[in-house]
Structure 1
Amino acid sequence: MSAATMLAVRLLRHEQDPVLTEIPVPTVGPGDVRVAMRACGICGSDVHIIEGSTVPAYLPITLGHEAAGVVEAVGDGVVEVAVGDRVSVNPMLSCGTCRQCRTGRQNLCPRIQVIGLQRDGAHADLVVVPAGNVVPLPDSVGFALGAIVADAIATPWRAIERARVQPGDVAVVYGLGGLGLHAAMLLRQVHGVRVIGVDASDSALARAADFGIEEVVDARAGRPATAVHALTDGGADVSFEFVGSVGVVEQAVRSLGYDGRCVVVGVGPDRLGLSLRQETLVARGQSIIGSHGYVSDDIRHLLRLLDDRTLSIDGTISHRVPLTSYADGLAALRDRTSGAIRVVIENDM
């Protein structure tokens, strides 16, 4: 491999696993930075892209959007970031000029692009993003954790902010994968909230206590909302749906008590068809809220919490593989028996 090329995981076509290949090093335009990738998560979203249920802007494309690394080059006009800086990467590239961007809601920009989906991503030696999309990574936070903050932790953080959570609330988390477990840790450690976890997996339910979830409901028993009401004497204050299933959304809404808020984060292709009566929703003052992504300020705030140890994220990075073993990491994520929570590629370079 020459100085003009690098290794990257490229998806050539759907329903075929990506391949590790040699491609040209990306150029750095004005206002851009080039980051030498030190860690990048393999996310369930990557699997959706590979399988074709999520369609990228073009093929072939380099996958990967949960990244952290070291700034290797800066473009013209960049003054706030320097070569050698440790950074987390916000993969959501917004236009900066629309109403949403001007009012601090860059995650809702109608022209948003996500690396690994609309632009080449970070399952590679190097990735290029606008300088405004990198966040300083404290020395106390390792690259692997700095990578998953920028999505797997920031996404539930934004959802919790949307829910107006208060200390002493009761929260129900539907789906105890990476997003749900991080949500539970944030709710317990930062917000002082009682958490009830709901899942249909033996392994997920068994490991819940390790992440601060002392009460769990097995969704396979049917109508988990009924069990939640029994545990809470009238329903939860907030519920979170991280599964992406209309049936789970229904149960998450039905788990609520008066003035309850259900935040839907999971993404699925089906139309919502709630059987809840409209008068019930109104009379109980309940809300159904969508939450999409996060903004760079969310990442900054989370990194401060990690730096001062207000927040401790331990155990959710279950698998670490080098870039050259990407296929092994992908296999672990797909294998329901592997115990995978977050799989992270690490690149020492």
Structure 2
Amino acid sequence: MKETMRAAVLRRYHEPLQIEEKPIPVPGPGEVLVKVRASGLCVSDIHIQDGKIGTVHLPYTPGHEMAGVIAAVGEGVDPARIGEHISAAIDIVCGECEFCRTGRTNLCRSLIRIGFERDGSHEEYCVIPAKNAFTVDPTIPFEEITGIPDAVGCMYNGLKNQAKLGIGQTLLILGVGGLGMNAIQIAKLMGATVYATSRKADKLEVAKQMGADAVIDTSCEDLRTRVAELTNGRGVDVVLDNIGLEWSINEGVYMVRPGGKVLVCGYISEDFKVNYQEVMKFEKEILGMRGMTRQDMAEVVELVNQRKIVPYVYKTVPFEQINEALGLLRDGKTKGRVVLLFPED
């Protein structure tokens, strides 16, 4: 094995990432070395580049949607794992706090995240705890595997655990894109009726292909009027807000039925305000969500292995084009996840 690798390094906020040579890390006890084959780009990468995530310390390598092959193992890890195709759970957890003990590992009090508080997958090799490496069927394309721990997993956690979406319920997705395309598939699997919104007709076309029952073009249709028509004035059971602006959360609150839930996923605005009376009188709920639990990860891997969920990938680009790809994401010129591909050798 060679001694150095290429890595995308963020040295200063508001500047492009630098492609640099770094030593290939060595896995310690309980760790594995992953040869990264694909790494997904996320809006969080933009927030990190803009200095909006305070737990990040420069210089460092971002990337939290990893797909690859185990290339080496540290002490205490079965050497038979070498060669496994894996997806990496983002959260490194303590396993001992009250949240870990009760299965809510995504809220671990000692949480460290791959691609946030420690170097991530925008590099040719990455060391992670062996417990974070989940084996995936080798027939699944690497670019699809990248979506498991975030683009799919986050939506799965939100809809299953927080919203408790079920058979016969209705879901409205505000801002269908990299996350929303996967949310459509998950919601349909749960037996729900799905409505998706966007200001871009091409995204709505993809949403219909993913299984959306109806789409709303908010560039030319009144959102509240259309939702009232689709639900016969009842309102939807759940709104998934993938936009994260004050107006989007308020729209969600008004469009859910009494007792309905607004699931907050997008996080552009730092704060928001809503009509207190609307929430109080009609027992509406605003729910946060972050990441996924370890159990969610295991379930999503199985659903992907069975092809019951096919993570949506809009575009793949060579690793060297990371800054151009981030520019597309920043300018809103994508219809879903953009994934970096690394050469096999």
Q: 2-side partners of 1:310 and 1:207: how far apart? A: 18
TM score, norm. by length of structure 1: 0.91
Match of 2:29 in 1: 30
Match of 1:10 in 2: 9
Match of 2:337 in 1: 342
CA contact (8 A) 2:316 2:339 kept: yes
Q: Which amino acid is 1:310 matched to? A: K
With over 3 angstroms needed to count, the CA separation of the structure-2 counterparts of 1:68 and 1:79, relative to structure 1, is: same
Is 1:325 matched up with 2:321?
A: yes
CA contact (8 A) 2:203 2:335 kept: no
Mapping for residues 224-243 of structure 1, pairs under 5 Å: 224-233=223-232, 234-243=234-243
Match of 2:308 in 1: 310
Match of 2:284 in 1: 286
CA contact (8 A) 1:246 1:270 kept: no
> How many percent of aligned residue pairs carry the same amino acid?
30
Q: 2-side partners of 1:207 and 1:179: how far apart? A: 13
- The RMSD of aligned alpha carbons is 2.0
With over 3 angstroms needed to count, the CA separation of the structure-2 counterparts of 1:308 and 1:192, relative to structure 1, is: same
With over 3 angstroms needed to count, the CA separation of the structure-2 counterparts of 1:146 and 1:312, relative to structure 1, is: closer
Is 1:259 matched up with 2:268?
A: no
CA contact (8 A) 1:196 1:214 kept: yes
CA contact (8 A) 1:158 1:293 kept: yes
With over 3 angstroms needed to count, the CA separation of the structure-2 counterparts of 1:109 and 1:204, relative to structure 1, is: same
CA contact (8 A) 1:10 1:18 kept: yes
Q: 2-side partners of 1:218 and 1:272: how far apart? A: 24
Shift of 1:325: 2.8
Give CA-to-partner distance per residue, 1:32-64, whole Å, 9 cap, x none: 111110111011111111122234531110111
Give CA-to-partner distance per residue, 1:213-260, whole Å, 9 cap, x none: 232223345862343123202101111111111211111121111321
Q: Which amino acid is 1:294 matched to? A: M
Q: 2-side partners of 1:191 and 1:126: how far apart? A: 36
Q: 2-side partners of 1:50 and 1:283: how far apart? A: 41
Q: What are structure 2's unaligned runs of at least 5 residues?
A: none
Mapping for residues 163-174 of structure 1, pairs under 5 Å: 163-174=163-174
TM score, norm. by length of structure 2: 0.92
Q: 1-side partners of 2:209 and 2:98: how far apart? A: 42
With over 3 angstroms needed to count, the CA separation of the structure-2 counterparts of 1:165 and 1:334, relative to structure 1, is: same
Match of 1:245 in 2: 245
With over 3 angstroms needed to count, the CA separation of the structure-2 counterparts of 1:80 and 1:226, relative to structure 1, is: farther
Match of 2:204 in 1: 205
CA contact (8 A) 2:179 2:336 kept: no
CA contact (8 A) 1:239 1:261 kept: yes
Is 1:86 matched up with 2:85?
A: yes
Match of 1:300 in 2: 298
Shift of 1:130: 1.0
Shift of 1:282: 4.0
Q: Which amino acid is 2:193 matched to? A: R
